[in-house]
Amino acid sequence: MNKINLINKNLILIGFQGSKPKHMKKYKKMYDNFGFKNIDIIYPSYLHNYDVRKVQPLAINIYNKINNNDKTVIHCMSGGIYPLSYSLKYLMLSDKLYKLDSLVLDSSPVDPSHDSLVNAFMEHNNLKYSKSLFDLIFKLYYKSIFLELNTWSYDFNFLINSEKFNTPKLFIYSKNDIIAPYNYINSIANNHKKNGNFTKELIFEKSDHVKHICTDYLKYEKTIFDFLNKN
């Protein structure tokens, strides 16, 4: 596999909520093989990722990383799109969206709802029962910090579907994913196509949430490589 033309390009790899360095090893190795020299990895945490006061500082950090480079490629997983959506807002407001070279959305965006948070937490921790208990825990958490549920998602749908958000995008998703539902992501991808934006898709039939790289590594790798080379 040839290298990608990476002159002055930085990569930001935004993991899923609760991700650890061990989860990102395969992705980092893939991008190392592509020829990226500068790779920043971000690990969003569960509760912080759903608290607007915690999300905004992280979003500003992502914004600064993008603004400090000529071109940035972002690979964003699952609910990592929440802090990224604020970063996109700042980029649009400052007319710096051109600094974003391309965006790989991997099992993302997830359905921006409280129920999605509970489902993601339970799946990540392999919990099969007591959904009502975790639903209550997260609601009590929001009550304790005096925030409404879903505060973090106020501008989310608008930004994701905005005609101004014309960055080339690759959507990687599955028909078997309840956290990032097929119909939800498919409708967003179709909107970007209708807006005339460069939009590619890699759709799996039975792949689980954020496990597409394990389902068919060669297809996954080649699709991302071709997307970054051709957009």
126 located within any domain: no
CB-based contacts of 187, cutoff 8 Å, min separation 6: none
For tokens 């940035």, name the residue. Answer: 72
Which pLDDT does position 41 carry in this prediction?
96
209 located within any domain: yes
Q: What is the mean pLDDT of residues 105-124?
A: 79
149 located within any domain: no
The total number of structural domains that make up the chain:
1
Q: Judging by beta carbons within 10 Å of its beta carbon (0-12, 13-18, 19+), is residue 135 exposed, middle or buried?
A: middle
Q: Where residue 145 falls among pLDDT bands split at 50, 70, 90?
A: low
Q: What is the mean pLDDT of residues 155-177?
A: 84
User: How far is the CA of 209 from the CAs of 46, 54, 94, 192, in angstroms?
Assistant: 16, 24, 33, 22
130 located within any domain: no
* d(C-alpha 81, C-alpha 156), whole Å: 9
* d(C-alpha 225, C-alpha 48), whole Å: 32
pLDDT in tens, 3-54: 666 666 899 999 988 889 999 999 999 999 998 989 999 998 766 666 667 7
Side-chain-facing half-sphere of 188: CA atoms under 13 Å? 26
The two tokens of residue 222 are 């080649």
224 located within any domain: yes
- Say if residue 55's pLDDT is above 90: no
- Structural element, H or E, at residue 75: strand 71-77
Which pLDDT does position 231 carry in this prediction?
67
* d(C-alpha 228, C-alpha 6), whole Å: 10
Which pLDDT does position 101 carry in this prediction?
93
- Say if residue 218's pLDDT is above 70: yes
Contact yes or no for 179/209 (Cβ under 8 A): yes
Nearest residue to 174 via CA among 197, 147, 201: 201
Q: Where residue 157 falls among pLDDT bands split at 50, 70, 90?
A: low
Pick 230 or 218 by higher pLDDT: 218
Q: Give me the helices (H) in the chain, please.
A: 21-34, 46-49, 52-67, 81-93, 114-124, 131-144, 156-161, 182-194, 212-215, 217-230
Q: What is the pTM of this model?
A: 0.85
Contact yes or no for 206/173 (Cβ under 8 A): no
* d(C-alpha 67, C-alpha 204), whole Å: 34
Q: Where residue 158 falls among pLDDT bands split at 50, 70, 90?
A: low
Q: Which residues pair with 200 in a beta bridge?
A: 170
What CATH number should be reported for the domain holding residue 208? Answer: 3.40.50.1820
Which pLDDT does position 147 carry in this prediction?
58
4 located within any domain: no
21 located within any domain: yes
Least confident residue range of 1-5, 132-136, 215-219: 1-5
Which pLDDT does position 113 carry in this prediction?
72
Pick 42 or 231 by higher pLDDT: 42
Q: What is the mean pLDDT of residues 110-126?
A: 74
**Overall residue count recorded for the chain in this entry:** 231
Q: Where residue 174 falls among pLDDT bands split at 50, 70, 90?
A: very high
147 located within any domain: no
Which pLDDT does position 11 carry in this prediction?
96
Which pLDDT does position 2 carry in this prediction?
61
Domain membership of residue 205 as a residue range: 9-111+156-230
Q: What is the mean pLDDT of residues 200-216?
A: 95
Pick 13 or 89 by higher pLDDT: 13
Cβ of 161: how many Cβ atoms within 10 Å?
Answer: 13
